[in-house]
Amino acid sequence: MNPRGRDRGSATSEMVLVVPVAVLLVCFVALLGRAGETHTAIRHAADQGARAASMVALGRMDEEARRAVEEDLVRSGHRCRDTTVTVSVDSQGRSVTVSVECSVDVGGLENVVGAPRTVRGESTETIDRYRAD
C-alpha cells in the first residue's frame, strides 16, 4: 500500500479550516485600520472646529464650529453615519472646547463586526478676544 494514500485530502481539509479564520482576521485588521484612521480624522476635525469657534463672538461659536467640523470631514473624505458636535465655553469665558462624536462607517463589514463603533475627539482652544467679531 502506498504510504501517501492515507494523506489524500488532508490539504483540502486544512484549507477548509484555515481559510475562514484567515478571512475573519483580514476583516478585523481592515476594521481596526478604518477605526484608527477615522479617530485621527475626528480629532483633526475637532481641532479645526475649536480653532474656528475661538475666533468668533460667543453667539456664533456653535455655528462656526459645526461648519468647520463638517468641512474638514468632507475634505478628508471621511463619512460618518451620525456626527454630533458639542461646543462648550469654560466658566470664565477664556477657552472653548469642541467635542465631535462619529459612528464609524464600516463599509461592507456589518455582517462581520455588527454595530458601528463610535469614535470621539475633543479639542480646546483659547478664545482670541482680539479676532472675535
Bridge partners (DSSP) of residue 53 are none
| Closest C-alpha among 60, 54, 64, 61 to residue 128 | 54
DSSP 98: E
Cα 38 → chain centroid: 3
In the chain, where the domains are located: 8-126
**Which amino acid, one-letter code, is at 51?**
R
Which three-class secondary structure state does DSSP give residue 78? coil
Alpha helices, H only, the chain? 10-54, 61-76, 110-113
List pLDDT tens digits, range 47-100: 999 999 999 988 899 999 999 999 998 898 877 778 899 999 998 889 999 999
User: Average of pLDDT values for 11-31?
Assistant: 82
